[in-house]
Amino acid sequence: MSSQTLNQKQQEAVLHTEGPLLILAGAGAGKTKTITERIVEIIKKGTDPRSVLAVTFTNKAAKEMKERIVSRLEDEHVIERENPYNPTPVIKTFHSLGLMMLSEQSERLGLLKHPTILDSSDSLSIIKKAVEQLGIDPKTHDPSKIRSIISREKGDFVTLSDYRKKVASAHMDIVASVWRVYDEELKRQKAVDFDDLIVRAVHMLEDHIDIRTQYQKRFKYIHVDEYQDTNGSQYAFVKLLIDPSNNNICVVGDTDQNIYSWRGANLRNILNFEKDFAGTKTILLEENYRSTGNILTLANVAIKKNTVRQEKNLFTSQGEGGKINVMPSWDEQAEGELVAEKCKTLIEEGQDPRNIAVLYRANFQSRVLEEAFIRANVTYNLLGTKFFERKEVKDVMSYLRAAMNRSSQPDLKRVFETPKRGIGKVTVAKIFANEDIPASAQIKVGKVYDFLDKIKSAVETDPLSHIMQMIIVDSGMEAEMLEGSSEDRERLENARELVSLTIRYDDTPAQDIIAQFLEETALQSDQDNDTKEKNGVRLMTIHASKGLEFDQVFIVGLEHDLFPHKNIGNRKQSKEEEEEERRLFYVAVTRARKHLYLCYAELRTIFGQKQINAPSEFLDDVPEDIKELHDLYYKQNGGAVVYF
């Protein structure tokens, strides 16, 4: 590939090598090719390759970028082909760059040259010890939640001293105390955790002018990919690495693809780039090489309704392509069957199943889809944890199994530990060994057994869906997850999906159906694993699909409160967060190369209740002249005529 294959805007970005450059690259607009060619151009001008730095977010992206750049440098005879001693650009993730710099300066910082990097379980272990050392009740102040708070604050580049200044509750005071002990233990072990790889590198650059100058002179040209996804510490890291005498910083990103605010990504970093660096040259990459014209028309119409963004308009020379398929179904089972049968037809017509993707907003939606694909005998790959393998689903199922079989120790262990109720591992071990336990523990254990008795009694009289609902609410699991993070609230949705799943059995008393239900769910889980390594249709959340592309894309569950998603817990959102659902829709739409199918159900069972759903506001964005509206699809046993 040579610079001749670049379009005018890409060529402009490649040739603008000096000073600050902001490349706003729309989905499928060839940003990686542009960065690659820009780095090649800089090196061809005589710059030492080791003076060029590119920072990405994932090891996979860094590896692919390095391979492309090295290949192009070999093509241009800048470096010798297959010479292992060739100098090459420094291409790292944020974390690996931080580790490299900390290792290089280890003696100065009092760190080991190859410091111990603590993984999440190591960090949690130290935090648990800190909680114990400080005499804090771990049942009231969950060590794992304390760890998550510390990690998020570090990502926002909040130091312990900064955090102490904003302490406004007893819990925050406890977090600060644990954080202090945690930091002391890291220093004692000469270790760093994952967040520290960036935070400590930033502190090093702030505190040591000579080290900062050293790296600013070393990296004459800096590139940052996916700049819209940077958080507070990554933003500070980048700014400190830039030589203020030349401001040779090039960032590539897209305000319309910022979908990770819940991870700490700050959209303001890219919005403020031109203010941060005077004289910034801004180039828009708007020509899309992935999707057909109709798909891009929908993407443009949808995203223009957002206000917190930088304006751009995607276009393509590939023609209009097929119309946007809008496919309503009677309920979620019908929707699942419709999608599975359509995928089956596409595969029979010669479509590679790996080029078909089914995208959904919330993890719990995968359960109905998995069932439909199994019934239709269509091989699929689920990206992420399968429904019945998720911890929260296993927890609810364990209550049911333990109520029916008190000898099942794995289920009893889950029941004792979820939600946290002050029954520790030592107590559980003593119960299983038939040893005496303290009187206080006996009371807690007795309450658990009473609840299991209540479940068993309910099995004789109540529908299975009511029992599932009782387990989730009366066990305390619902309250615990509602008080947690956004991930915890998503886990609650998964648990609630079990209630919806069991509605189908409500015409039969639970005592007559429970064995069949437990058997079916166990068999389904086994069957899912059989398809794990096969080439099948991809099922995944929209978040997981970012960066991927497929010929045929189905977006399911396009209903009000599902997509756009309802904010569980009613926490007040910023304008950027409110608009993130529309950015997520934009990302989903732009995964499609050739055909896009927008699916919704008129009825959907949520937490055991059938609800009539208004179609998503996003469906209103589809222009009438590019829309193909299909007939309402009804699921019928044994397979119905599918209206395509």
Report, as residue numbers or ranges, the catalytic residues. Answer: 31-32, 225-226, 257, 591
Burial 25-40 (b: 16+ CB within 10 A, else e): bbbbbbbbbbbbbbbb
Q: How many residues make up the chain in this entry?
A: 644
Q: Which residues does 439 contact at the CB level (< 8 Å), separation at least 6? A: none
DSSP E strand stretches across 289-367? 324-331, 356-360
Residue type, 391: K
β-bridge mates for residue 599, sequence order: 327
Q: DSSP assignment of 343-354, as one string?
A: HHHHHHTT--GG
Instruction: Report the distance separating Cα 211 and Cα 201, nearest Å.
Output: 10
Tokens representing 458? 């309910």
Q: What is the 3-state secondary structure (H, E, C) of 103-147?
A: HHCHHHHCCCCCCEEECHHHHHHHHHHHHHHCCCCCCCCCHHHHH
Residue type, 372: A
Q: DSSP assignment of 368-404, as one string?
A: HHHHHHHHTT--EEESS--GGGSHHHHHHHHHHHHHH
Residue type, 353: P
Give the helix/strand (H/E) hosting 118.
Answer: strand 116-118
Tokens representing 67? 């391979």
Instruction: Report the distance separating Cα 423 and Cα 440, nearest Å.
Output: 10
Checking DSSP bridges between strand 627-629 and strand 324-331, what pairing results, if any? Answer: parallel
Instruction: Report the distance separating Cα 555 and Cα 357, nearest Å.
Output: 9
Instruction: Report the distance separating Cα 207 and Cα 219, nearest Å.
Output: 19
